[in-house]
Structure 1
Amino acid sequence: MHNHSVRELALGQDTREPVYSIVFGTVIIFGLPLNAVSLWILLRHHSLKSPSVLFMIHLVISDLLLIISLPMRVYFYAMGNWPAGSMACIWVTMLFRNNIRSSSIFITFISVDRLLAVVYPLKSRLLRTPSKACRAATIVWLILLAVNVPESLDLYRLLKNYTAPACFEFHPVEVDEELHTSAVAYLQLVLLFVMLVVNIVSTALVSWTLHKHVNDAAARVNNKVNVMLIFAMNLTMFIVFFLPVSLVVFFNNLRPALNCLASVNCCLDPLLYYFSFDGFWKRKEDVDLSLARD
């Protein structure tokens, strides 16, 4: 089959390619400075002794890794061809997948950390330590790298079967389906559902605790609206950005649009940091100092 024919088969004459290029370009324009500034603020103005701040730093790093891979996607959808080889395609693809996976995990860690700080402030003090947060983040990255190895080898093998200089949506349909119905894709979907449930339960428990003032920590949190906005944003990330792109295993033809949607999450994460700094963590630090004095 000629390259042009294969491309038509894979893309289905998709006229939305320029839209994808515009969306990815917009994410770069807004996401890069927002996350760069967020990382600078986290490292310079906030204590690295807070587990949640450490998780936020890793979340920023995950977003920045995604953003630096997006120029290749912009070029691909704007020009209609892939300028680099198979290894570049594999790197860009893995960075995107790792962002979805790591972001969902770190956001869940942040939600659980807040849950422990508000609902179980005394019992969780030994659990919520910087060393354990660093250890958890390291384990997350190591697991992601371990998953990347077989995925990269599988993608490289499949790319060898396609002679055109292509990546992403230019794979033949039958190869594309084989790649995205792997056990890893189903496992990711299951884990996302589990983490979504964890975030929902955390939101409900924190909301109830703050409303009832069932402990001293809850009573001292003044800006409860900001606290609940953080949880609402976490749930939005899962429902709007993470879950749909993981359902691509069932709706493969929607993959380009869902990838675009998922990439927008890195532009909204800085809002999560802002509400955390302004309304919750300063107050939480005051609570921790008060408890320490007691």
Structure 2
Amino acid sequence: MSLANESCENAEDLRMYQHHVYAVVYSVILAPGLLGNVLALWVFRVYTRETKKAVVFMMNLAVADLLQVLSLPLRIYYYLNNTWPFGHHLCMICFYLKYVNMYASIYFLVCVSVRRCELIMRPLRYNSSKRKGDMLICAVGWLFVCLACLPFPLLRNPKSEQHNNTLSNVSVCFSELPMRAISEPAAWTLLIIAELVGFIIPLVLVLACTCLTAGSLRDLTAGAIHDRGEKRRALRMVLSCAVVFLVCFAPYHVTMPLDFLVKAKSLSNCSLRDLILRCHPVTLCLASLNCSLDPLIYYFTTDEFWRRLSKPEIPESMTFSRRLSCITGGEGPEDD
């Protein structure tokens, strides 16, 4: 958005407000996001072949979160110093990774929810061929998300003339880059697709998995797991995914179309415009908060975290199970 083109609000005051919000929030989530996701990858690397509880999807979710966390120091530098000296290409990479992380996180949270629900409802259907299928699902998901997020950086025009004397000597980056010219129907089409495919459909799937998993505690479905403790653990996992959706991603996808209306100059009420422009950065920060919340999901809802962190002898027992697997010719024991 071009802040200078907005006659209602003080562009420089609004810009400084946004920079302060981003700098504070990104500084707060940097350390826990980095440590939590590195720890998650360390734990899940050991358990990738030892369990079938959606660990492959959680590993990819941790990778997506880690990619965003690694870009935060440059973002923090920009918002603290109000200038970007690192060049346009690095700006676009950081800008791009922001949205890749968000929508990759949404994709893999859906995968985790669906897999945990499936393992509760139909545990016997999961086998080694489905494990390989999970890898394919991850690869297809990364490809789809990376391609679908390309419009975010491509719609920015770094060569546009500076539009505000207060910003003329400042190297701007991220959302402050001016937008390329695009027709209103095309813009609304992209917005509707992003809302529908990127948020509404995934949210419906996660909520459906939550309801099905919760219902399994009451109903004894044929072929389902009858261990109520295992069902409660699965429900905690799926419910946590739903909470992350509602806390981190729902506010952003509510303000995103409103922010578009401001950018398209479709709103004339100055107070409403100012409210949207001040709320949208907060919701974008909430969307970034998921990279620190996801490791908490792993820790409090995944048995592998507790086993790995509380029992140092686990790797040795795994070595024994692998040796036993080689003797018997099987794939080794798996957690259900």
| SS class of match (1:196) | helix
CA distance in 2, matches of 1:280, 1:209: 25
Unaligned runs of 5+ in 1: 283-287
Provide Cα deviations, 1:122-171, integer angstroms capped at 9, x if missing partner: 3x32597211100011011111222344543332xx12114441012433
| SS class of match (2:171) | coil
CA distance 1:176–1:34, change in 2 (3 Å): farther
Provide Cα deviations, 1:207-262, integer angstroms capped at 9, x if missing partner: 11122333464322425443322222111111111222233432322332222111
CA distance in 2, matches of 1:280, 1:151: 36
Give the structure 1 partner of residue 45 of structure 2.
43
1:267 to 289, 292, 298: 292
CA distance in 2, matches of 1:31, 1:139: 25
RMSD: 3.4
**Is 2:212 the counterpart of 1:205?**
yes
What percentage of aligned pairs have identical amino acids? 25
Give the structure 2 partner of residue 105 of structure 1.
107
For residues 166-245 of structure 1, what are the structure 2 equivalents within 5 Å? 166-172=172-178, 181=187, 183-191=189-197, 192-215=199-222, 217-245=224-252
State the shift of 1:46 in Å: 4.5
State the shift of 1:89 in Å: 1.5
Report the AA paired with residue 81 of structure 1: T
Give the structure 2 partner of residue 114 of structure 1.
116
User: Is this contact kept in 1: 2:121–2:223, CA < 8 A?
Assistant: no
CA distance in 1, matches of 2:180, 2:282: 19
Give the structure 2 partner of residue 134 of structure 1.
135
| SS class of match (1:246) | helix
**Is 2:170 the counterpart of 1:145?**
no
2:67 to 65, 73, 76: 65
CA distance 1:85–1:75, change in 2 (3 Å): same
Report the AA paired with residue 248 of structure 2: F
Report the AA paired with residue 24 of structure 1: Y
1:249 to 252, 256, 269: 256
CA distance in 2, matches of 1:290, 1:5: 59
CA distance in 2, matches of 1:125, 1:39: 23
CA distance in 2, matches of 1:59, 1:52: 11
Q: TM-score, with normalisation over the residues of structure 1?
A: 0.82
Q: Which has the higher helix share?
A: 1
Across the two proteins, how many residue pairs are aligned to each other? Answer: 281
CA distance 1:199–1:280, change in 2 (3 Å): farther
User: Is this contact kept in 1: 2:96–2:149, CA < 8 A?
Assistant: yes
CA distance 1:181–1:77, change in 2 (3 Å): farther
1:19 to 3, 21, 34: 21
State the shift of 1:100 in Å: 1.0
Report the AA paired with residue 232 of structure 1: L
CA distance in 1, matches of 2:258, 2:133: 38
CA distance in 1, matches of 2:145, 2:45: 24
The answer to which structure, 1 or 2, has the higher relative contact order (CA under 8 A, 6+ apart) is 2
CA distance in 2, matches of 1:107, 1:201: 13
